[in-house]
């Protein structure tokens, strides 16, 4: 484990939005927003010596368990945004990391993420084996509400199926969490998405989906919320709850 001399307990990174990051209306895709969140978290962990490469020396990796994103407005093509991150808590096998996005000095997004350390051989949670005492913790919230456990006891209807293919896999050798969001949004009302009516969304990741797994996508919606689940063998692997403006 090597700590970069430029490491600090808070981290900022800029992104210039390209056309690849945007919907047909020119605004940032929700999936790419989540990709930025993953990139910034990974780069900060890199600087602090607890990156994927560092953790693989102990057969460990970080996986996100829950995420809440609150959005006041979306940036557009060619905008330059600044992402800021810090760790709120880190103990044993679990950590809460916060994230904010700024445009021209204005906060436009807040995010709280809940991470778990897993052993990449057993695929089970275990305590972080690397030293992390150099990370200062900040009891500061980035969101109005914390991440939450999404209820899956509602009446859901099947809307489709998804087969996990090679392009869905990430470095931990499972379907990346942003793919789950992408699959569900493909079954959402595109007009509402293009009108930027998403106020916030929560995601829960309960089980891995691997290559050639087939997931059933179900939905339950009302005027204020839309909830999706991905299930394999009748067991929920993922839940998404969208709050509409």
Full-model pTM: 0.94
Q: What is the pLDDT of residue 40?
A: 97
Hey, what are 76's tokens? 């557009």
- Do 157 and 137 fall within a single domain? no
Specify the 3-state DSSP secondary structure of 110: strand
- Do 125 and 183 fall within a single domain? no
- Do 196 and 111 fall within a single domain? no
Of 147, 162, 177, which one is at a domain's C-terminal end? Answer: 147
d(CA 235, CA 245): 31
- Do 111 and 16 fall within a single domain? yes
Give 46-98 pLDDT, tens digit per residue. 999 998 899 999 999 988 999 999 999 999 999 999 999 999 999 999 999 99
Choose from 56-70, 98-112, 115-129, 149-163 the range with maximum mean pLDDT.
Answer: 98-112
110 contacts 100 by C-beta, under 8 angstroms: yes
Hey, what are 185's tokens? 């949004």
**Domain with 191 in it: what CATH number?**
3.10.129.10
Q: For the chain, what is the domain count?
A: 2
Tokens 């006041």 — which residue?
72
Beta-carbon contacts of residue 73 (< 8 Å; ≥ 6 apart): 103, 108, 196
14 membership: H or E segment, kind and range: strand 10-16
Query: Residue 109: which domain range?
Result: 1-147
Of 87, 120, 147, which one is at a domain's C-terminal end? Answer: 147
- Do 107 and 170 fall within a single domain? no
Among the residues of 69-224, which ranges form H helices? 177-185, 190-194
- Do 93 and 154 fall within a single domain? no
The side-by-side arrangement of strands in the sheet containing 225-232 is 10-16, 80-91, 94-103, 106-119, 60-71, 198-205, 235-244, 225-232, 214-221, 157-163
Of 147, 174, 209, which one is at a domain's C-terminal end? Answer: 147
User: pLDDT averaged over the chain?
Assistant: 95
d(CA 51, CA 45): 5
- Do 1 and 111 fall within a single domain? yes
């Amino acid at each position: 484990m090597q700590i970069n001399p430029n490491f600090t307990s808070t981290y900022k990174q800029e992104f210039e939005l390209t056309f690849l990051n945007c919907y047909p209306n020119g605004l940032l895709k929700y999936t790419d927003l989540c990709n930025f969140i993953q990139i910034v978290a990974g780069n900060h962990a890199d600087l602090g010596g607890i990156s994927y490469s560092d953790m693989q020396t102990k057969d460990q990796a970080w996986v996100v368990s829950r995420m809440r994103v609150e959005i006041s407005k979306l940036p557009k093509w060619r905008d330059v945004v600044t992402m800021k991150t810090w760790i709120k808590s880190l103990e044993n096998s679990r950590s809460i990391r916060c994230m904010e996005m700024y445009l021209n000095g204005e906060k436009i997004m807040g995010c709280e993420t809940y991470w778990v350390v897993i052993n990449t051989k057993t695929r089970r949670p275990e305590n972080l084996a690397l030293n992390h005492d150099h990370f200062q913790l900040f009891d500061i919230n980035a969101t109005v509400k914390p991440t939450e456990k999404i209820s899956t006891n509602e009446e859901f209807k099947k809307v489709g199926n998804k087969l996990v293919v090679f392009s869905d896999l990430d470095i931990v050798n499972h379907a990346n969490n942003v793919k789950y969001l992408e699959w569900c949004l493909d079954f959402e009302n595109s007009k509402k998405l293009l009108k930027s009516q998403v106020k916030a969304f929560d995601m829960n990741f309960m089980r891995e989906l691997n290559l050639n797994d087939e997931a059933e996508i179900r939905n339950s919606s009302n005027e204020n919320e839309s909830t999706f689940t991905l299930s394999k063998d009748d067991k929920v692997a993922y839940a998404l709850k969208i709050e509409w403006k």
